[in-house]
Structure 1
Amino acid sequence: MATLILVRHGRSTANTAGLLAGWTPGVHLDERGAQQAASLPGRLAGVPLAAVVSSPLERCVQTVQPLLDARPGLSLRTDERIGECDYGDWSGRKLAELAGEPLMEVVQQHPSAAAFPGGESMRAMQARAVDAVRDWNARIDAEHGEDAVYAMCSHGDIIKSLIADALGMHLDLFQRIHVEPCSVTAVRYTRTRPFLLRLGDTGDLASLAPRGAGDQGGEGNAVVGGGAGAP
């Protein structure tokens, strides 16, 4: 079956402002995010891509545009099922404010039970994203053969939930995974099980440097929405 390259969108204006963007319109890449996107064609230069699929949100489309420009034979395909989690009433709010909400502890410790007010549950988010990958795997296999590789640009929580599925992890453990902006994660699917080939690869080890606890929303907490990455 196909090999999937998951790309998290580059750093966005919401990331740097500490906002939980969700499906809020008008969230674009910031200057660094645009630079990250510009480097993507070079990072993937040695990888033959059969297709590029993206969340329809602006920050993802902007991230893959340089890749599409570098490969005129590819056209963009979008899929709402890999769009960001619908955070409902939390969308557009400051993460620092949300840290004190009782629901945040559930999001951190028991995400399979978390449902955002006016939005969706994290369980539903994972289910739609996994369904999308299964469908695209079958489509890519049928159109390009079982050795094909394709790219999919999405969001932090979506990618983390897909990694959890590939590893056979319960959704309650997915907050232990972190993916940087514009990082690359690769999963090779087979008939019987997936194999995780790369996880959150940025080509830059600076993100391993110690950071303040505030960057993670508190000691031991995961960054809901994915965060802004290394400073």
Structure 2
Amino acid sequence: MLLLRHGRTTANADGGLAGRRPVELDETGRAQAAAVGERLRAVPLAAVVTSPLIRCRQTLDIALPGAPVAVEEGLTECGYGEWEGQPLKKLAKDPLWPVVQQHPSAAVFPGGEAMAAMAARAVEAVRRWDARVTGEHGPQAVWLACSHGDVIKAIVADALGVHLDLFQRIVADPASLTAISFTPTRPFLLRLNDTGGDLAGLVPPKRRRPRRARPGDSDATVGGRAGG
């Protein structure tokens, strides 16, 4: 699975919290989307899934024009409630801010969503889609999900097997790619916050028939992987 964060938005540039508001990509964000699209040309994608918010849809329209895209509500931005549209500098003075930073699993946004609930529905969504793609195309198939910073960080934390309270240590920049391989017993984080470089190492080998998952697929390589 490739996790793509949307390109930079007007809210990102202005230092505000967009939340679920219909903010759009700015000029830099559109350039970022075009650049990541060039990189993605090297990877055959079995499926493309997106958050319903317009900034993700715009990113995919630019990066992968004409590609069929499925909308997945589970990938939508965290519901920040009354925090949405507020400057981050102002929010940093809110009593809830240190909870979000240090104990996010306990954070519930006024009029919005709990961060733990966001993490749970996002992880459920990507695991459901990965099982679907694997069932239809085999375990080597690559698919892409376009979402938001906190959502991607929560999915990465789950893949690493770390508590949600540690997810603020993870970074997901605009238009970055993160690669996770799900296996029958555990996930592997292959790339994180990747904003440049060749993606050829993620292309599955050509096979006449899709290979089924094998017991050893979940084993870590002792001494380190050989790479793509």
* Fold similarity call, TM over 0.5: yes
Alpha-carbon separation, structure 1, partners of 2:123 and 2:145: 12
Q: Secondary structure at the match of 1:50?
A: strand
Which amino acid is the alignment partner of residue 47 of structure 2?
A
- 1:186 equivalent in alignment to 2:179: yes
Q: Is there any run of 5+ residues in structure 2 with no aligned partner, and where?
A: 198-228
Q: Is there any run of 5+ residues in structure 1 with no aligned partner, and where?
A: 205-231
Alpha-carbon separation, structure 1, partners of 2:163 and 2:91: 24
Deviation at 1:29, TM superposition (A): 0.3
Give the conservation status (yes or no) of the 8 Å contact 1:54–1:77: yes
Match in the other structure for 1:28: 24
Q: How does 1:110-121 map to 2 (within 5 A)?
A: 110-121=103-114
Alpha-carbon separation, structure 1, partners of 2:42 and 2:29: 22
Alpha-carbon separation, structure 2, partners of 1:178 and 1:197: 15
Deviation at 1:67, TM superposition (A): 3.1
Q: How does 1:28-47 map to 2 (within 5 A)?
A: 28-47=24-43
Which amino acid is the alignment partner of residue 21 of structure 2?
T
Match in the other structure for 2:60: 64
Alpha-carbon separation, structure 1, partners of 2:163 and 2:35: 33
Structure having the higher Rg: 2
Give the conservation status (yes or no) of the 8 Å contact 1:40–1:66: no
Q: Secondary structure at the match of 1:117?
A: coil
Alpha-carbon separation, structure 2, partners of 1:80 and 1:150: 17
TM-score with structure 1 length normalisation?
A: 0.83
- 1:19 equivalent in alignment to 2:12: no
Match in the other structure for 1:91: 84
Q: Secondary structure at the match of 2:25?
A: coil
Give the conservation status (yes or no) of the 8 Å contact 2:116–2:164: yes
Point out 4+ residue stretches in structure 1 off by more than 3 angstroms.
none
Alpha-carbon separation, structure 1, partners of 2:173 and 2:37: 17
* Aligned-pair identity (%): 60
Q: How does 1:1-231 map to 2 (within 5 A)?
A: 4-25=1-22, 27-69=23-65, 72=66, 74-203=67-196
Give the conservation status (yes or no) of the 8 Å contact 1:68–1:76: no
State the number of aligned residues: 197
TM-score with structure 2 length normalisation?
A: 0.84
Alpha-carbon separation, structure 1, partners of 2:131 and 2:194: 26
Q: Which has the higher contact order (CA 8 A, sep 6+)?
A: 1
